[in-house]
């Protein structure tokens, strides 16, 4: 699909077209929330939109404004990337103070990734500015966990829901980006990405990361096809220990993402037509999504995963 602006984003054509109509027609909301899975392109769309609005050439890639936004020091574009930490109320107050400063161009833009990281007090501080924003201020926000966002914030923003990108589209993208790469490698990166173009590109750039994904994908595939409680619990124990040693929930998050991806793929590829099996796997995907939500609430990781495995 042809677009008015150079988004350089794979998929999401409907969302991009709607955003373009709002930009061209001067019907922008004061606040947008891009919601959807990690690595599907939400943050890229938000940052590109900032470029389009701030650059006189609608994102020419070469002017001082474009370069400053790329490097993160454009005075009218405030970017808050996800560093894995919660967003404290002091940070929100500092951001609000900057948003109230005079601007050099048409907009003062806040780009903030994964706003579910805001505790209630920080979210409430942000809410006041969302309810009565200074003239020319635009919020471009993203979240991986829409259900964790305060309903009062959701009511003040225009929400766009980003979906996973079809695997073949990701294959086409990788073939364009890496024309000399092995075809099997591209197909594996696309498959293991589970509909997330950003993840697929990460796999192509880092062979070790791809190998880790391949091993986890195959291990989970064995559990799904032939459940083995003892083997699953041993695997979970090792995974929980790795996460504890790393002091990070990333290994568990990766496992849950891959577990859901394997289940989705098994639904698409299962030729048996066993409706009971399909219903169980759909239910298990929902349980995996619940586990992903609970993971952020400091629950016992090992018990969380063992409970999930018992439902195979």
Q: What pLDDT does residue 272 have?
A: 63
pLDDT in tens, the chain (312 residues): 677 788 888 889 899 999 999 999 989 999 999 999 888 999 999 999 999 999 999 999 999 999 999 999 899 999 999 987 889 999 999 999 999 998 888 899 999 999 999 999 999 999 999 999 999 999 999 999 898 899 999 999 999 999 999 999 999 989 999 999 999 999 999 999 989 998 999 999 999 999 999 999 999 999 888 888 899 999 999 998 998 888 888 889 889 989 988 998 888 777 666 788 788 888 899 899 888 888 877 778 889 899 888 888
Residue 98's pLDDT is 93
Cβ atoms of residues 24 and 126 within 8 Å: no
What pLDDT sits at residue 137?
96
Residue reference for tokens 């829409």: 146
> Are 126 and 112 a contacting pair, CB within 8 Å?
no
For residue 5, count CB atoms less than 10 angstroms from its CB and return exposed for 0-12, middle for 13-18, buried for 19 or more.
middle
Degrees to nearest 5, angle at CA 88 with 85 and 92? 120
Considering just the CA atoms, what is the radius of gyration of the chain in Å? Answer: 21
d(CA 131, CA 152): 9
pLDDT score for 276: 80
Assigned CATH for 13-161: 3.40.50.300
Give the Cα-Cα-Cα angle 9, 14, 18 (nearest 5 degrees): 100
User: For residue 6, what pLDDT is reported?
Assistant: 84
Helices (H), the chain: 13-24, 42-54, 64-71, 89-99, 120-131, 151-154, 167-177, 183-192, 197-205, 207-225, 229-246, 250-269, 275-294, 301-309
Q: Where are the domains of the chain?
A: 13-161, 166-205, 219-309
d(CA 36, CA 161): 6
pTM of the model as a whole: 0.85
3-state secondary structure of 217: helix
pLDDT computed for residue 1 by the predictor: 62
Helix (H, G, I), strand (E, B) or coil at 300: coil
pLDDT recorded at residue 228: 87
Report the C-alpha gap between 191 and 140 in whole angstroms. Answer: 30
pLDDT at 120: 93
Cβ 144 vs Cβ 115: under 8 Å: no
In terms of phi and psi (left: phi > 0; alpha: psi -120 to 50; beta: otherwise), the region of 58 is left
Q: What is the pLDDT of residue 273?
A: 67
């Amino acid at each position: 699909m042809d677009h008015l602006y150079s988004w350089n984003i794979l998929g999401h054509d409907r969302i991009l077209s709607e955003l373009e109509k709002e930009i061209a027609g001067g019907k922008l909301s004061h606040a947008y929330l891009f919601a959807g899975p990690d690595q599907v392109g939400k943050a890229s769309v938000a940052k590109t939109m900032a470029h389009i609005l701030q650059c006189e050439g609608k994102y020419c890639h070469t002017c001082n404004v474009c370069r400053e936004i790329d490097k993160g020091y454009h005075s009218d574009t405030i970017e808050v990337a996800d560093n894995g930490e919660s967003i404290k109320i002091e940070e929100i107050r500092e951001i609000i103070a900057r948003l109230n400063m005079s601007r050099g161009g048409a907009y003062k833009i806040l780009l903030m990734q994964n706003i579910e990281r805001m505790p209630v007090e920080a979210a409430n501080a942000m809410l006041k500015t969302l309810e009565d924003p200074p003239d020319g201020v635009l919020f471009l926000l993203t979240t991986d966990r829409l259900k964790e966002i305060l309903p009062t914030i959701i009511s003040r923003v225009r929400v766009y829901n980003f979906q996973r990108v079809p695997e073949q589209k990701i294959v086409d993208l990788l073939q364009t980006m890496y024309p000399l790469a092995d075809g099997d490698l591209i197909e594996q990166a696309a498959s293991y990405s589970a509909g997330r173009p950003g993840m697929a590109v990460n796999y192509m750039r880092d062979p070790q990361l791809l190998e880790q994904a391949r091993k986890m994908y195959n291990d989970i595939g064995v559990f799904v096809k032939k459940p083995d409680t003892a083997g699953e619990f041993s695997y979970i124990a090792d995974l929980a220990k790795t996460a504890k040693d790393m002091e990070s929930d990333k290994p568990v998050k990766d496992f849950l993402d891959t577990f859901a991806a394997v289940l989705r793929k098994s639904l698409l590829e299962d030729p048996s037509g066993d409706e009971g099996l399909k219903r169980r796997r759909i239910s298990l995907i929902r349980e995996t999504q619940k586990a992903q939500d609970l993971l952020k609430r400091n629950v016992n990781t090992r018990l969380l995963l063992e409970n999930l495995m018992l439902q195979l």
